[in-house]
């Protein structure tokens, strides 16, 4: 478990952004995303401004652009839907390179692409600069109900257990000459899934009982961290504040 607190999207760095308290970062990310989504889709300059803000944050967090770009491909399925929109939409149409495109569909596609990308990038920056443990701690300090943080804590611990057991079972299958392709992989998974579940549960149950024996009461003992200083709130608040400023200026002008 010692090394299990990071996650695939976490980027170990020592930067001002990494040092900000998790609850502050979560609040800033949520507010920023709300501003982005509320921006009218034809305010193209505003979206450029948001992208610039995120680039500044990425530079401060020392997260490389290539790293962000590669992980942002998680968004691709959504963008695929967006590509279909200009062809399938209704309303007035425009001609571009001999293709008849719906204006509403074009705007819709831009809307999904721009807001989706900015949202994904903001979440990626949060993920890159926050460990899972800190994230749950942050949610807890933001008064997230204990039922949630408890489920989330166990979920993150069991994820490693599940992944390890699944890997062991897969290696066991492969070493017995099992080499399925395409849909037939599903069969082995489905046959073994119940066993995987039980194996993981019984491992996890032992961990849980050990935790209870050591005084676990439904909440992980958090080191008594002082409340984040006001300047952290101010520093992180600069992101949503600046984006709200951009939104106001572009909408009003």
Partner 1 sequence: METTTAMHIANGIVDGPVSAVFAVLAAAALAFCVKKARADLDDRLAPMAGLVAAFIFAVQMLNFQVLPGVSGHLLGGTLAVVLVGPWVGALCVSTVLIIQCLLFADGGLTALGLNITNMALLGTAAGYLLVAGLLRIMPKTPGGLGATALIASVVSVTVASQGFVLQYALGGTTDLPLPAVAGTMAGVHVLIGIGEGLIAATTVATVARVRPDLVYAMRRFRKPATAEIGVPA
Residue 158 interacts with partner 1 (CB under 8 A)? Answer: yes
Residue 88 interacts with partner 1 (CB under 8 A)? Answer: yes
Query: CB-side exposure of 115: number of CA atoms within 13 Å?
Result: 18
Q: Map the footprint of partner 1 across residues 13-42, applying CB under 8 A.
A: 26, 29-30, 33-34, 36-38, 41
CB of 232 to partner 1, least distance (A): 19
Residue in 63, 114, 236, 239 binding partner 1, rule: CB under 8 A: 114
Which residue's CB is nearer to partner 1, number 73 or number 178?
73
Which residue's CB is nearer to partner 1, number 38 or number 229?
38
Query: CB-side exposure of 218: number of CA atoms within 13 Å?
Result: 4
Residue in 53, 61, 63, 200 binding partner 1, rule: CB under 8 A: 200
What burial letters (b/e) apply to 187-223, b meaning 16+ CB within 10 Å?
eeeeebeeebeebbeeeeeeeeeeeeeeeeeeeeeee
Q: Name every residue whose Cβ is closer than 8 Å to that of residue 47 and which is 6 or more positions away in sequence.
A: 36, 39, 114, 118
Which residue's CB is nearer to partner 1, number 126 or number 232?
126
Residue 186 interacts with partner 1 (CB under 8 A)? Answer: yes
Which residue's CB is nearer to partner 1, number 97 or number 147?
147
Q: Which of 128, 115, 127 is nearest to 50 (CA)?
A: 115
- CA gap 57, 128 in Å, rounded: 12
Determine the size of the site formed for partner 1 (CB under 8 A). 84
Residue 77 interacts with partner 1 (CB under 8 A)? Answer: yes
Residue 67 interacts with partner 1 (CB under 8 A)? Answer: no
- Can you tell me which residue has the tokens 């520093």? 235
CB of 30 to partner 1, least distance (A): 6
Which residue's CB is nearer to partner 1, number 145 or number 229?
145
Between the two ends of the chain, the Cα-to-Cα distance in Å is 54
Continuous segment of H or E residues that includes residue 239: helix 230-252
Residue 90 interacts with partner 1 (CB under 8 A)? Answer: yes
């Amino acid at each position: 478990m010692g090394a299990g607190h990071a996650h695939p999207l976490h980027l170990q760095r020592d930067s001002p952004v990494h040092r900000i308290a998790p609850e502050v970062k979560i609040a800033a990310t949520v507010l920023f995303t709300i501003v982005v989504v509320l921006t009218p889709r034809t305010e193209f300059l505003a979206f450029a401004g948001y992208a610039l803000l995120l680039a500044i944050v990425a530079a401060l967090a020392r997260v490389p652009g290539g790293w962000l770009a590669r992980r942002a491909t998680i968004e691709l399925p959504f963008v695929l839907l967006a590509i279909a929109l200009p062809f399938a939409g209704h309303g007035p149409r425009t001609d571009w390179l001999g293709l008849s495109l719906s204006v509403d569909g074009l705007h819709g596609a831009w809307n999904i692409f721009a807001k989706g990308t900015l949202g994904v990038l903001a979440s990626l920056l949060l993920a890159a600069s926050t460990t899972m443990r800190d994230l749950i701690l942050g949610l807890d300090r933001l008064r997230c109900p204990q039922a949630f943080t408890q489920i989330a804590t166990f979920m993150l611990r069991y994820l490693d257990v599940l992944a390890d057991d699944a890997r062991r079972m897969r290696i066991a299958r492969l070493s017995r000459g099992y080499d399925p392709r395409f849909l037939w992989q599903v069969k082995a998974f489905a046959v073994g899934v119940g066993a995987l579940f039980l194996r993981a549960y019984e491992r996890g149950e032992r961990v849980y009982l050990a935790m209870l024996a050591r005084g676990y009461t439904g909440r992980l003992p958090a080191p008594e961290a002082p409340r984040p200083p006001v300047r952290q709130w101010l520093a992180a608040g600069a992101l949503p504040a600046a984006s709200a400023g951009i939104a106001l200026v572009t909408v009003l002008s």
